[in-house]
Amino acid sequence: MSRYTRESAAEPKVTEEIAGAHPDGRRITRWTFGFPEGVTVEVLSLGARLQAVHVPDREGMRANVVLCSDEVPDLFGEAAYFGATVGRYANRIAHGMLPLGDRVHRLAIQPTGHTLHGGPDGFATRLWDGALVRAGRQVGVRLRLHSPDGDQGFPGAVSAEVTYLLGPDGDLSIDYRAATDAPTVVNLTNHAYFNLAGEGRSSVLDHLLQVNAEQYSPVDRDLIPLGAPAPVAGTPFDLREAREIGGRIAAGHPQLRRAGGGFDHNWVLDGAGLRQVAVLSHPGNGRRIECLTTEPGLQVYTGNHFDGSLTGRYGTPYRAHAGIALETQHFPDSPNHPEYPSTLLNPGEEYRSTTVYRFSAQ
């Protein structure tokens, strides 16, 4: 299996350019960094967004494996979450109701009646301040955002930071930090959609997915967790061994129908600390992603609702299952489930989370 070690002697290449204009007139910056013939990454200041990851296959042929759009209006519309750092609370909070201490805060909601990914004007729509960083042989960008008290209804002013660092062996680490001046909740993730065949070239139904989890979270019709996790054994959610995604989601399970014909569920991950929790691979070209995280959950979404109305960078419409999101995070609706791992952040504490996407070919 190639970890791109042949590039370990190469110096990384780094560029910074204007990628467009925010509706308020401020510039959107794109940083591109990586290693010649190895992995290269593009990050946008809009949404602290992972816009592209160019990865060689087993023959050395490179392709962007992240769904993306270069059109700024799309990044405020259908592509708003593509590759973005989503927050202040990734995933759903039921009915926009946030119980905290002795009161319930009413959050901004989407048309579903719930709060998704921090609300209709969450972190994905914001311009983050960024600067290139180096750490040894790693190169990347660090981005910061200030979220004021009351932002989308969330209490407390929050200072958030996300750092992307790419190493010559193909490891892309994403480190999150946050602090607050009043009790609040924080749950950050990256919302990249991957397609290891290459962006826009096919669906992910022929990809293999393995997830280290014995339980998952069943959901109601609004995709809110029903309560206690359920065993994956005997269901299409059993991915403890690598399985073809198309075969799994064709099983006709009621939970798959509820999510629109595929996965849009949280897996309760085994273990703790930074550990490997999932592997996504493409048998045809050998590309592979190992996902490591410190988080307790993994939301897997198979792009069930793509309908061709959004066109990617190279002109191909995105249809159902054009990509798969592997969102490392705490569980959906945790503030309304005291039995779930807590997302509470208090003054004087630091929110820390790390995810690594390890790209290789075999």
pLDDT of residue 1: 58
The Cα 58–Cα 220 span in angstroms is 41
CB 267 within 8 A of CB 300: yes
Which phi-psi region, left, alpha or beta, contains residue 332 (left: φ > 0; alpha: ψ -120 to 50)? beta
pLDDT of residue 68: 92
pLDDT of residue 22: 92
Q: What does the mean pLDDT of the chain come to? A: 95
**Residue (of 225, 249, 236, 260) closest to 341 by Cα position:** 225
Residue 7 in this model has a pLDDT that exceeds 50: no
How many CA atoms does the CB half-sphere of 239 hold within 13 Å? 29
In three-state form (DSSP H/G/I as H, E/B as E, the rest C), the secondary structure along 123-181 is HHHCECEEEEEEECCEEEEEEEEEECCCHHHCCCCEEEEEEEEECCCCEEEEEEEEEEC
The Cα 262–Cα 205 span in angstroms is 10
Instruction: Please name every residue paired with 208 in a beta bridge, in sequence order, or none if there are none.
Output: 244, 281
Residues belonging to the active site: 191, 327
pLDDT digits (tens, 9 = 90+) for 125-156: 999 999 999 999 999 999 999 999 999 999 99
Residue 9 in this model has a pLDDT that exceeds 70: no
CB 41 within 8 A of CB 33: yes
Residue 193 in this model has a pLDDT that exceeds 70: yes
Q: What is the DSSP string of 21-63?
A: E-TTSPEEEEEEEE-TTS-EEEEETBTTEEEEEEEE-TTS-EE
Residue 44 in this model has a pLDDT that exceeds 60: yes
The Cα 119–Cα 138 span in angstroms is 33
The Cα 362–Cα 360 span in angstroms is 7
* Stretch 14-27: mean pLDDT: 94
**Residue (of 87, 47, 49, 91) closest to 66 by Cα position:** 49
The domains located in the chain, with CATH, are 5-361 (2.70.98.10)
Residue 26 in this model has a pLDDT that exceeds 90: yes
Q: What is the DSSP string of 315-352?
A: SPEEETTS-EEEEEESPTTGGG-TTSPP-EE-TT--EE
pLDDT digits (tens, 9 = 90+) for 293-311: 999 999 999 999 999 999 9
pLDDT of residue 37: 83
Distances (CA, A) of 338 to 96, 250, 333, 335, 342: 16, 34, 10, 7, 7
pLDDT of residue 252: 85
Element (H, E) at 73: helix 72-75
High-pLDDT (> 90) share of the chain, %? 92
pLDDT of residue 290: 98
pLDDT of residue 3: 60
Give pTM, 2 decimals.
0.96
